[in-house]
Amino acid sequence: MVIRSKAPLRLGLAGGGTDVAPYSDIYGGAILNATISMYAYATIIPRNDSKIILHSVDKHESYEYPSTEKLPIDGGLDLHKGVHNRVMKDFKPDKIPPFDLYTYVDAPPGSGLGTSSTLTVAILGAFAEWFQLPLGEYDMASLAYDIERVDLQMAGGKQDQYAATFGGVNFMEFKKDNVIVNPLRIRSDYMNELAHNLVLYYTETSRLSSQIIETQSSNVLEKKEDSIEAMHKLKEQSLMMKEALLKGHLDEIGRILDFGWQHKKNMATDISNSFIDEIYQTAMDAGATGGKISGAGGGGFMIFYCPLMTRNSVIEALQEKYGGQAKRYDYVVNGLKTWSVNEK
């Protein structure tokens, strides 16, 4: 038997960072995101011996262990181990099964597309398919969040697990112990135009998002007014983006992105830097009307709204000056998918 899963990566279009505690616990957060045709994949193949072997195909890493209920959390594919350990703990199968677990992600770590959380959802989905675990969408996303944030103590927000599980374009609301996912019914021609005009540009840099997120959280705890006010503005941005997409006011999206970007930079240090600022200004000079860094900031992918026929001029200006690459993508409506087949 071969058990497989895939979960989509996401673009955070507005409100990014307001899903991170303690801001979301104190003030409530709101985010608008959309899943795209880039994925995290997981495959489980049961073994006939007493070994557990973990493989990250894209990172070229493999680790072998004896079949056991709890694998060591030691920095080697900890997401894989964290999911295994939690499934064994919570659902207690009759015997600890030996298996190979293979994973692959269509974007590199630290790229700002929610890779770590999406991979966690994909791995958890594969185990759920294998053991036929009774997990609905909210259960799946919540458990994936707990594995990352509680079990593995990885800093971050909540949007990525829910985006990967539910899929589609969603307006998400975050409160202390509650997440509400509101799917948005947006006309297909609006989404096609958005995919055409919203350039996804990889800076060929990465960042450790946990450091930025920890600073952001500390700023809230220390009641730093500039940072908190910036998060309030990002929450306001999510409502602006929601209205623009639903009504088809696509010419406003660049301005809304720029509004959020100018405030996002005040949430924490290292969200932007001179290199990112130069890239942003180059895109704007070439015809973009707004943009932002994807994810927590510091590097990875950036997005730019390029109306009418400015897309190519923006891409050419960026690649001529900085290299990097523009990634083609489409929006996808489906979230986590799992399946199994009998193959020898």
What global pTM score does this model have? 0.94
Residue 102 within any structural domain of the chain: yes
Q: Say if strands 51-56 and 61-66 run parallel, antiparallel, or are unpaired.
A: antiparallel
DSSP-assigned states of every residue in 129-151: HHHT----HHHHHHHHHHIIIII
Residue 122 within any structural domain of the chain: yes
Say which range, 10-24, 96-110, 174-188, 266-280, has the weakest mean pLDDT.
266-280
Residue 120 within any structural domain of the chain: yes
Q: Are both 133 and 221 inside the same structural domain?
A: no
Query: What confidence score (pLDDT) does residue 206 get?
Result: 66
Report how many domains make up the chain: 2
Minimal CA–CA distance to 140: which of 43, 5, 342?
5
Q: Are both 196 and 107 inside the same structural domain?
A: no
Query: What confidence score (pLDDT) does residue 72 get?
Result: 96
SS3 112: coil
Q: Are both 181 and 251 inside the same structural domain?
A: no
Query: What confidence score (pLDDT) does residue 208 get?
Result: 59
Q: Are both 54 and 143 inside the same structural domain?
A: yes
What share of the chain in percent tops pLDDT 90?
Answer: 79
Query: What confidence score (pLDDT) does residue 166 get?
Result: 98
SS3 182: strand
Query: What confidence score (pLDDT) does residue 218 get?
Result: 86
> What average pLDDT does the segment 215-238 reach?
90
**Known catalytic residue: 258?**
no
Band of pLDDT at residue 117, cut at 50, 70 and 90 = very high
Query: What confidence score (pLDDT) does residue 196 get?
Result: 96
End-to-end CA gap in the chain: 7
Residue 85 within any structural domain of the chain: yes
Q: Are both 170 and 248 inside the same structural domain?
A: no
Rama region for 248: left / alpha / beta (φ>0; ψ in -120 to 50; rest): left
Query: What confidence score (pLDDT) does residue 299 get?
Result: 75
DSSP state of 328: P
Kindly list the strands in the beta sheet with 290-293, ordered across the sheet, starting from the edge strand earlier in the chain: 290-293, 301-305, 198-202, 325-327
Query: What confidence score (pLDDT) does residue 213 get?
Result: 80
Is residue 283 predicted with pLDDT exceeding 90?
yes
Cα–Cα distance for residue pair 341/214, rounded to 1 Å:
42
CATH of the domain at 122: 3.30.230.10
Q: What is the largest CA-CA distance in the chain?
A: 62
Residue 201 within any structural domain of the chain: yes
What's the mean pLDDT when you consider all of the chain? 93
Cα–Cα distance for residue pair 207/203, rounded to 1 Å:
11
From the candidates 19, 78, 160, 258, which is the catalytic residue?
Answer: 160
Q: What is the domain range of residue 219? A: 188-327
Q: Are both 169 and 195 inside the same structural domain?
A: no
Residue 113 within any structural domain of the chain: yes
Say which range, 111-120, 147-156, 210-219, 257-266, has the weakest mean pLDDT.
210-219
Residue 14 host element (H or E): strand 2-14
CATH of the domain at 246: 3.30.70.890
Q: Are both 26 and 65 inside the same structural domain?
A: yes
